[in-house]
Amino acid sequence: MTIAALNPAGPRAHQIADLMVTFFSVTAVVYLIVIAVLVWAMRRKRALATGSERDEAERKATRVIGVATALTVFILLGLALADFTVQRALSSHPADALRVLVTGHQFWWEVEYDDPVPSQRLRTANE
């Protein structure tokens, strides 16, 4: 049996792992695109013809930068929405959740396992 550090063991852990894979995938694709554009820009000829060709190249570069900025904003909004939905799902507590009340004292912890039926409450401590 293989135990992996990134192997989620519960339903909430699966949600977090899926979010992590989504973030990693999106950022890896963005990184590869940025590196490809960087390599293309470094290999491109630096000498541009004077006059209208240079003005056209400036307009094209401005358009590309605008599209890249808008795409970045949409990607960040998408990642924020994905994070928000997972956080919202994680913050909801199931009806059968076990409530544990922990009180810290100077040298020990007092632990009370809460139950709607008062006779079934359990109070213990680690001394």
pLDDT of residue 60: 84
Residues 107 and 68 reside in one and the same domain:
no
CB environment 60-70: b (16+ within 10 A), e (fewer): eeeeeeeeeee
What average pLDDT does the segment 52-77 reach? 87
Q: Could you tell me if residue 6 is inside a domain?
A: no
pLDDT in tens, 7-42: 888 888 889 999 999 999 999 999 999 999 888 877
Q: State if pTM tops 0.75.
A: no
For residues 109 and 68, membership in a common domain is answered with no
Assigned domain for 5 exists? no
Is 83 in the same domain as 123? no
Domain count along the chain: 2
Interior/surface letters 1-39, b for 16+ CB within 10 angstroms, e for the rest? eeeeeeeeeeeeeebeeebeeeeeeeeeeeeeeeeeeee
Confidence band of 1 (pLDDT split at 50, 70, 90): very low
The model's pLDDT over 103-118, given as tens digits with 9 standing for 90+, comes to 999 888 999 988 888 8
Structure tokens at 39: 């390599």
Same-domain check for residues 43 and 73? yes
pLDDT at 114: 86
The reply to whether 71 falls in a domain is yes
Domain range for 116 is 94-127
Query: Does 34 lie in the same domain as 64?
Result: yes
71 and 100 in a single domain? The answer is: no
66 is a domain residue:
yes
* pLDDT recorded at residue 51: 62
Task: Assess if residue 67 is contained within a domain.
Answer: yes
Of 94, 123, 93, 90, nearest in space to 108 by CA: 123
Residue 31 shares a structural domain with residue 75? yes
**Same domain (yes/no): 15, 44:** yes
| Domain annotation covers residue 81 | yes
pLDDT digits (tens, 9 = 90+) for 65-101: 899 999 999 999 999 999 999 999 888 877 777 888 8
